[in-house]
Amino acid sequence: MGRIYEDAKAWFEANYDDSLPVGTWWSRLAASGWGFPQWPRGADGLGLAPSEAAEVDAARRDVGAFGPPAGIGATLVAPTLFVHGPEALVRRYVPAIATGEELWCQLFSEPGAGSDLAGLTTAAERDGDGWVVNGQKVWTSGAHLAGRAVLMARTDPEVPKHRGITFFAVDLRQPGVEVRPLRDMTGDAEFNEVFLTDVRVRGDDVIGDVGGGWAAAMTMLAIERDLDAIGHDGGGDVLNDVDRSVSVAEMRAAQLAGSSSGFSYATGARKDEVVAGLVARFADRTEPVLRQELAAAHAHRRVLDWDAARAVPPSLGKVLNAELCRRLRDLGFRAGGLPSQLSGEDAPDGGHFQKLALFTQGMSVAGGTDEVQRNILGERVLGLPREPRQP
C-alpha cells in the first residue's frame, strides 16, 4: 500500500465515529471525497484511478469505518452520468445520491425485450417541452423503494431500433407509476413489474442525446457487469432504504440481526462469508477434496478482486462472478451436508445459505446471460468471427 492508503487511513481514523447518525456520516464522506474517490473532483470524488480507489477502500475497512451508500444510484447512475452527462444532471442528482438521500432503479427489461433489449416498446412522446411515457418494465430491482429511475424508452420508431432509443431520468413519485412485486423462489421480492401510464419526464432530464440512449445504456450495463465481479454491496454495506437518523452503530447491529435476500448475497461479496460460516460450523477441513475446493474458491475470489482494481473487460468479471456463485453453492452443500439444505429461520445458519443457493443460477441470467457475455468477449475482445445472426 502507498501514500493514498496512508492518507485515507489517517482521514478515516480522524473522522469516523459510529455514534454519528448514518445521514451525517454519509454527508461527511461525500464532502470529503473519500466515500467515492473514483468519482471526479467537484462531484463528491477525488478523481482517483481504480487501483487507488481500492487502496482507499482497504484503508476504510482496516479502520472499521462504515461504507458509503451502495445502491444503484451510487454504483451505476452516477458513473453513467459522469460519462454521458449533461453536467446539469450531474449537479442536479449526484449530491443526493452521494449522501444516500435518493434511491434509484433501472427501468430496462420488458416482457418482450430481455436479451434483445433494443426490442423495447415502452414509448416516450414529445409533449411541449417534456415527454410522456407509456409502457411496462419488468425484473426491476428495488423499484418498490426507489424515488427515481433511469429509463430506456423508444422515441423514434421509424429508425433502426438501436438508434431510436433515449435514456431518461424519471421521477417515480408521480401519478401513473404502478409498482408490483415479483416474488422469487427464495421468498424474497427484490424484483418488480413497473407500469407507466402517461408518466411525465422533464425535457432536460435526457441522459446523453435524444436517440442516443443505447450508448448510455451500454455504459451502465458495462459498469454493472464490472461490479458483479466483487459485489454491488462492497462487502456488506447498505443497499436499500434506511433510516438516516439512526446511528451507524445501530445500523450495523440491524444488519447483523437481519436476513439479507438471496439477491444481495449472490450479487455481493457476502456470499463468501455465508459459505465460510457453513464450512467453519460443519466441515472437516482436513478432508482432501474439500480442502482443494476451498483453495480453488479462495483463488477465484482473489482473481475477481485483482480484476476489480484494473481495466479488464466487464463481461469477464460478470462470467467469473456467476461461476464463483456456483462454486460456492456446491462448496456449501458439500461442507454443510443435509443441514445446508434446510431453509427458514430454524435452519442452522438462519437459512442464509439456502437463499444464496437458490438464487445462484439467476446470476447466469441477470445483467446479461453467460452466453451473451461470452459472445461479447469472443467478438469484441478477442476479435473472433461474429456468431451467425438470424435474418
Query: Which residue numbers are catalytic?
Result: 224
Tell me whether strands 148-154 and 104-107 are parallel, antiparallel or unpaired.
parallel
On whether the CB atoms of residues 45 and 82 are closer than 8 A, the answer is no
Nearest alpha-carbon partner for 215 in 140, 150, 170, 162: 162
Q: The C-alpha cell of 116 is what?
A: 434483445
287-290's contacts with Cβ under 8 Å and 24+ in sequence apart are 289/334, 290/331, 290/334, 290/335
Distance CA 354, CA 349 (A): 9
Nearest alpha-carbon partner for 221 in 55, 76, 354: 76
DSSP state letters, 119-173: G---EEEEETTEEEEEEEE-S-TTTTT-SEEEEEEES-TTS-GGGSEEEEEEESS
Q: How far is the CA of 22 from the CAs of 17, 19, 63, 71, 248, in angstroms?
A: 10, 9, 17, 15, 5
Q: The C-alpha cell of 180 is what?
A: 408490483
256: Cβ contacts below 8 Å, ≥ 6 apart:
none
Burial class (CB in 10 A: 0-12, 13-18, 19+), 391: exposed
CA angle 198, 201, 202 (to 5 degrees): 145
On whether the CB atoms of residues 241 and 258 are closer than 8 A, the answer is no
Which amino acid, residue 363?
M
Distance CA 200, CA 130 (A): 7
On whether the CB atoms of residues 77 and 43 are closer than 8 A, the answer is no
276: Cβ contacts below 8 Å, ≥ 6 apart:
none
